[in-house]
Structure 1
Amino acid sequence: MQSFNYTLKQNTWMQGLLVTLVVVSGLLLLSVFCFLIWFSLPVFLTETSAVFKLKWQPEQGHFGILAMVFGTLSLALISTSFAFVIAIGLNSFCLLSRRRWLVAILQSLLKFMAGIPTVVYGLAALFLLLPLLRNILQLGSGYSLFAAVCMLILLILPVICVMLDNITTPLWQQHALGAQALGFSPEQTYLQIILPHCKVNICGAALLGFNRAIGDTMLPLMLAGNATQLPSGVFDAIRSLTAHIALVIATDQGGEAYNSLFAAGMLLLMCSAFICLLSRYLVGRNRLVQPA
């Protein structure tokens, strides 16, 4: 009886601690939203015409961030699209390959890549990728949307691959034998049973990779060229919103250029929040649709 009371008190204490942590985390997140809204509202209300323009020339009084918005979206969309396709290919290889030793090496490599700091990818690109683009392929200075996309693919690929593996491996173990008994080949099982069964979760993995690409600062800052322009091709330089925040906050304190940071931060936070809510909605809807 005493042991039961002790366990009950311990569980109550743990539940209270978890509730406290959840409330504190929610309040901190709400405070971040309130902080950005408080400082960005004057920018949106009084300087809308200045902020929502394509031209960024602070010395001439132009503080538009739309070019950075387009650069961020193009960078995230291109890198996520390629990373997602590669991740699907790697996932199918891991499930279908009979060389389990090679699959184990590949999975270990992906998990190792997930722990590599972003700056390491940037330094590797500075000494390997950029000289290739600049000296061998003769593509300008090498600092471009293409260079940033290449390294962002490596950055978000392990995240998408690990999520896909966690989703598809249990399904493969559950359905592979029955599909084989019905005459399905392994490829047909993967394409016609596994992927359709977890398409919502796969969309969630892609959204997570997209969110990771939008929020990265170091790779666009080091590799994209930081040119405030609309790119006409993948080999043109761009500036992302995260790189814009890092550059301006390091060189300016106060003024209209500094105020543009709050608008950029608000847009990034709203985009991340929307992606997270959409992922939650898709997962919740998938649970409701699936039979008990």
Structure 2
Amino acid sequence: MQSHNHTLTQNCWMQGLLMILVVISGLMLFAVFCFLIWFSLPVFLTETSLVFSLQWQPEQGHFGILAMVFGTLSLALISTSAAFVIALGLNSFCLLSRRRWLVVILRSLLKFMAAVPTVVYGLAALFLLLPLLRNGLQLGSGYSLFAAICMVILLILPVICVMLDNITTPLWQQYALGAQALGFSPEQTYMRVILPHCKVNICGAALLGFNRAIGDTMLPLMLAGNATQLPSGVFDAMRSLTAHIALVIATDQGSEVYNSLFAAGMILLMSSACICLLSRSLVGRN
């Protein structure tokens, strides 16, 4: 009886500690929202025509960030789409392949890639990918949307793959034998049984990869060229919102250039919040 009471007391203590941590985290997130709203509202109310334009020419009084918004969305959408297709292919290989040793190596490699710092991908691209684009393919300086896309794919691919693997492996173990008894091939089992059962979770994995692509700073900063323009193709230079914040953060406080940071930060934070809410709604429907 005494041991049981001690266990209950310990559980209550742990629950209270977790509740305190949740409240603190919520208050900190709320404080960040309030901070950005407080500093970005004057920008939206007094400089809307300047901030929401395509021209970024501070010396001429143009502080538009729409080109950076478009560049960020282009980078995130293309990277997530490509990474998602590759992740589905790798996931099907892990489930259907009979070479289990190769599957073990592939899963270990993906988990290792998820732990690699972003700056390492950027340095690898600087010495391997950019010289290939610049000297081998004669594509200008090599700093482009395409270079950033290639490395962002490598960045978000392990995250999507690990989520898909955690979702589909238990379903495969549950339904594969029954589907085989009904005459389904392994490929048909994967396409017609496994994927339809976890389509909501698959969308959640894609949203997580998209959110990671939007929020990355180092790769667009190091590889995209940081040109404040609308890219007409994937081989043109561009600047993302995160790279813009990193580049302009040293500007004198109070200037109009500095104020654009709060608009960019507010857009990024609202995008992340919307993606999180959408993910929650998808999980609720599952």
TM-score normalised according to structure 2 size: 0.99
Return structure 1 stretches of 4+ with deviation > 6 angstroms. none
**CA shift for structure 1 position 252:** 3.9
Structure 2 equivalent of residue 206 of structure 1 = 206
Q: 1:43 deviation in Å? A: 0.4
Superposed CA offset, 1:181-215 (max 9, x none): 00000000000000011000000000000000000
Partners of 1:242 and 1:173 in 2: CA distance: 42
CA drift at 1:273: 0.4
Contact 2:80 2:206 in 1 (8 A): yes
Deviation at 1:146, TM superposition (A): 0.1
* Segment drifting more, 173-182 vs 244-253: 244-253
TM-score (norm 1): 0.97
Matched, 1:75 2:79: no
**Residue aligning to 1:8:** 8
Q: 2:143 aligns to what SS in structure 1?
A: coil
CA distance in 2, matches of 1:37, 1:276: 19
**Cα pair distance change 1:218/1:229, threshold 3 Å:** same
Aligned twin of 1:263: 263
Segment drifting more, 2-11 vs 66-75: 2-11
Structure 2 portions without partners, runs of 5+: none
Deviations 1:5-42 (CA, angstroms, capped at 9, x unpaired): 21121111111111101100000000000000000000
Output the aligned Cα RMSD.
0.6
Say yes or no: does 1:284 pair with 2:273: no
Instruction: Please state how far the C-alpha of 1:112 moved relative to its aligned partner.
Output: 0.3
Percent of residue pairs bearing the same amino acid type: 88
Instruction: Name the counterpart of 2:57.
Output: 57
AA matched with 2:65: I
Distance in 1, matches of 2:253 and 2:183, equals 68
Distance 2:21 2:234 in 1: 44
Name the amino acid aligned to 1:4. H
Distance 1:261 1:207 in 2: 25
- CA distance in 2: counterparts of 1:92 and 1:6, whole angstroms: 48
2:93 corresponds in structure 1 to: 93
* Structure 2 partner of 1:160: 160
Aligned pairs for 1:213-252 within 5 A: 213-252=213-252
Aligned to 1:177: 177
Q: Counterpart in 2 of 1:290?
A: none
Structure 1 unaligned regions, length at least 5:
287-292
